[in-house]
Amino acid sequence: MRSRVALEPLAEEPGGGEDDAARRRRSGLHAALHRWARLLSGAGTGDDGRPAADLRVLLSVLACPLSPVPILPRLPKHVASSAQYIIEQFRATTGCGKTAAKSMYAAGKVRLAMLQEPAGGSSASGGGHGRHHEGSFVVWQLAPAMWLVEMAVAGHSIAAGSDGRVAWRRTPWLGAHAARGGSRPLRRALQGLDPVMIASIFSTAEHAGEKVVDGEDCFVLRLDVGPSTLSSWSDGTAEVIRHALTGYFSQRSGLLARIEDSQLTRIQSSPGAPAMYWETTIASTLADYRHVEGHGGVHVCVAHSGRSTAHLARFGVGVRAARVVTRMEEAWTIDDVAFDVPGLGPDAFIPPEEVRRSRCYDDAARK
């Protein structure tokens, strides 16, 4: 989810229209959510109109969100729990417990859409279908804290990466900016693309029961992000209240069938001012698992397609309706996956200069 909100934005409105003092009053998450509100209402889009505004929101939320939790340095061993049993089944089914691949490459196609309210509706929460935007993306990853993703959709390009210390994102309308809270994995890798990372992320999850997902009986594993981590994501006016990640693992195959995460953020522009709340949820279903040859000839099972649905909700003072919800969708296919990419090294993951000059990067370097 975060995406979306996790990446600290530059203090610049995409369509202008506000003076410098107003920009200075907004920082971090507050600025990002304010921009989304303007785009969703159609303000500040310039001459490119509603479709371009929709695409900016789609790319901000769905293109390269981060995982809410970091990768553990090593998987826990000799832990007797139902959650660990589920993860061990997943590792055995995917073959990721037998591989020691140090790098990965994946390329695929993506289709994004804003799901609009039927004619006459006042928000984007209905069941109608908006305009679709098609594009492609490529992901590079190195063992696994360093990663880079580039996506091009309908004439817009967006990139994000991590050098192992800090994550960053670059868009045409915001430039390059660092994420608060240090480096975390790319959520796209959790969507069935990197079984080793999935096993690591969910290795400390709690077993939360069972649920039927698309006709498949699944075990449910849930992770709630701790208060200290949430605090590192927050800034002076935006407080991340909660973030949860849930994985649904098929009882029949042992594979990850669905992944969901949700984040609630409280915005208060000044002490005593009315608060506004933003809730972002993303649910991804995974499909078309195929075996890809990995390190030493070991075959790893990787999901080659999937679909995500995101809901961006606003509620609180200043919102006309009790709850305004924007719905958007992404469908993707993976065309090519390779492990142990020859010549891929740390130099490929150096952040842009603007990120290296940022305070977030300096803070991460001192840790």
The pLDDT of residue 77 is 54
Among residues of the chain, what percentage have pLDDT more than 90? 45
Residue 217 has pLDDT above 60, yes or no: yes
Provide the 8-state DSSP code for 66: B
- pLDDT score of 46: 40
pLDDT one-digit tens code per residue, 107-155: 999 999 988 544 334 444 444 456 889 999 999 999 778 999 999 999 8
What is the predicted pLDDT for the residue at 69? 81
pLDDT band at 367 (very low <50, low <70, confident <90, very high): low
The four Cα atoms 124, 129, 133, 137 give a dihedral, to 10 degrees, of: 80
- Burial of residue 274 (number of CB atoms within 10 Å: 0-12, 13-18, 19+): exposed
List pLDDT tens digits, range 54-80. Answer: 888 889 899 999 988 877 655 555 555
Number of CB atoms found within 10 A of residue 77's CB: 7
Instruction: Find the mean pLDDT for residues 87-111.
Output: 91
Residue 8: the pLDDT is 34
Q: Provide the token pair at 300.
A: 């790893």
User: Which two three-digit tokens encode residue 59?
Assistant: 């790319």
Tens digits of residue pLDDT in 13-24: 223 333 333 343
Q: What per-residue confidence (pLDDT) applies to 231?
A: 87
Residue 227 CA to residue 208 CA, distance in Å, equals 20
Average pLDDT, stretch 166-194? 89
What is residue 324's predicted lDDT score, i.e. its pLDDT?
Answer: 72
- Average pLDDT in the chain: 80
Q: What is the pLDDT of residue 130?
A: 65
More confident residue, 276 or 359: 276
- pLDDT confidence of residue 99: 73
- List Cα–Cα distances, 300 to 48, 143, 329, 338, in angstroms: 44, 16, 28, 10
Asked whether the predicted pLDDT for residue 259 surpasses 90, the reply is yes
